């Protein structure tokens, strides 16, 4: 089994000083004995990986939908932080994109 990384240049059709932030998040509901969910985050800026993280929640979620919302909240906080940094540098952030298929079980 082989793995490779492929970089696609000019993947998005965007103006030169405009940025598109793509966000993806997922969470697993109470996988261990401590019943705390684990969430994952991926953030791309103009199709280039910018931020990724996994995090064990500090609270116990009552449902899979709740842990997905906690993961989405963490992802959007990171995306807003990246957006604010880009705007402080004088760039324009056009829009946010997120995965269109919710994975709540």
List the domain range (segments joined by +) for residue 82: 19-98
Tally of domains within the chain: 1
Q: Is residue 10 part of a domain?
A: no
Residue 5 lies in a domain: no
pTM of the full structure: 0.69
On whether residue 26 sits in a domain, the answer given is yes
Measure the CA–CA gap between 57 and 36, rounded to whole angstroms: 6
The residue whose two tokens read 């979620």 is 61
Look at strands 92-98 and 18-28 and give their pairing: parallel
Asked, for residue 74, whether it belongs to a domain, the answer is yes
What pLDDT, in 10s, does the model give residues 17-69?
A: 678 888 888 888 877 777 788 888 999 988 889 899 888 878 777 888 888 88
Tell me how far CA of residue 88 lies from CA of 26, 82, 93, in angstroms. 29, 10, 11
The whole-angstrom separation of Cα 30 and Cα 46 is 33
């Amino acid at each position: 089994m082989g793995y490779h990384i492929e970089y696609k240049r000019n993947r998005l059709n965007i103006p030169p000083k405009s940025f598109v932030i793509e966000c993806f998040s997922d969470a697993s509901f109470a996988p261990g004995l401590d019943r705390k969910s684990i969430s994952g985050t991926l953030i791309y800026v103009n199709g280039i990986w910018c931020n990724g993280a996994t995090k064990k929640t500090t609270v116990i979620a009552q449902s899979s939908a709740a842990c997905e919302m906690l993961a989405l909240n963490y992802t959007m906080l990171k995306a807003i932080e990246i957006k604010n940094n880009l705007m402080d540098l004088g760039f324009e952030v056009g829009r946010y994109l997120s995965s269109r298929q919710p994975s709540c079980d």
